[in-house]
Amino acid sequence: MSASGLTAPGFHSKGMRRRRVVNFVMELLAWGAAAIAVGVLAVVVFAVARRGWSALNTDLLTKPPIPFSTAPQGLANAFAGTIVIVGIATLMALPIGILVAVYVNEFAPASIRNGVTMVLDILNGIPAIVIGIFVYGLLVVGSGQSGFKGAFALAILMLPFVARSTMEVLALVPNSLREASLGLGIPHWRTTLSIVLPQTIGGIVTGTVLAVARVAGETAPLLFTSSLVGNQTSWNPTQPLQTVPVAIFELSESPDPADHARAWAAAFILLMFILVTSLTARWLANRSRSKIAGR
């Protein structure tokens, strides 16, 4: 006797073999899809690293660009501008983002909570280039570009991100902690500020770092707000400042291979900064998340 009596009818039939082949092919395709995604990441990072590394030198960080010159050129103005603009954007977005999250999580009734969450999602979905046009129309028309206006545009992009990540960590704080504090007679506002928020510091920091990593590479909102610049290195945000992504964008459209080399080098530094910060932040987030939840 064969084992056929123990198995489902049709187990050894042609139909079953066909079904298994289909299953095998589909599993293979899923493996292939994952391989393509990882492969594309590897190809892009490798391309940037190979070309960027060979073009990398200290002149890039210390010297400004000098058009129509054979002297060593850098992008010092772009690095300075990115530091200033991203720094100001963070200072603008962080407090407001945290306050929005506190309101939504600690005070708002459910209907308003859903409304604000939806507004944050909508803001998050508005294309960066439209944010650029908005700030252009609101602040730039008539008075010109400046680093502050670029930072304002970036802050709008950071805001939903910071608020959402703060909301996520606030939701992880156990309710028993709030109840214990309120039960001791501590007012709601003090409970929020001195008991609940300190629990989330780690999460807020990692959320902010991820937001910084995200906007440090944003080009579109800066094109209309802080892109028409000179070549001197400036730290003054009342003037338009060059930034790394805008510099890469402009250099990539140039026909000159020397410009391409500088674009690759700048892209390499930008990419390394973004990858290192976002991977570290993610790792820290996982750690602090399990810490809060475990308490």
Partner 1 sequence: MTSVDATPEATRRPFGGRRVRFGDIGLQLIAGGAALAVTILVVLIVWKVVQGAKPAIEKYGLSFITTVAWNPVIGRELYGAGSFLFGTAVTSIFALILATPLAIGIALFLTELAPKAIRAPITALVETLAAIPSVVIGLWGILVLGPILRTTIEPWLHDVLGFIPLFGPPSEAGASVFTAGIVLTIMILPIVSSISRELFLGVPSDLKEGALALGTTRWEMVRGVMIPYSSGGIAAALILGLGRALGEAIAVTQVIGGSVSIQWNLFATGDSLASKIAASYQGATSNLEASSLIYLGVILLVFSLVANILAQWIVRRTARKHGIVRGGHA
Q: Is 106 in the site for partner 1 (CB under 8 A)?
A: yes
**Cβ-based nearer residue to partner 1, 71 or 74:** 74
Closest CA to 250 of 237, 266, 236: 266
Closest CA to 261 of 39, 59, 42, 40: 59
Three-state DSSP string of 100-168? HHHHHHHHCCHHHHHHHHHHHHHHHHCCHHHHHHHHHHHHHCCCCCCHHHHHHHHHHHHHHHHHHHHHH
CB nearer to partner 1: give 130 or 258. Answer: 130
Residues 34-63 that bind partner 1 (CB under 8 A): 34, 36-38, 40-41, 44-45, 47-48
Stretch that binds partner 1, among 66-74, 81-89, 125-133, 287-295 (CB under 8 A): 125-133
Contact between 264 and partner 1 per CB under 8 A? yes
Nearer to partner 1, 1 or 253 (CB): 253
> Hey, what amino acid is at 191?
T
**Residue 180 touches partner 1, criterion: CB under 8 A:** no
Q: Cα separation of 62 and 60, whole Å? A: 6
Count CA atoms closer than 13 A to 32's CA, side-chain side.
Answer: 6
Residue 292 near partner 1 by CB under 8 A: no
Per CB under 8 A, does 130 bind partner 1? yes
Smallest gap from Cβ 76 to partner 1, in A, equals: 19
Among 199, 200, 227, 288, binds partner 1 (CB under 8 A): 227
| 54: three-class secondary structure by DSSP | helix
Q: Does 287 bind partner 1 (CB under 8 A)?
A: no
Q: Is 256 in the site for partner 1 (CB under 8 A)?
A: no
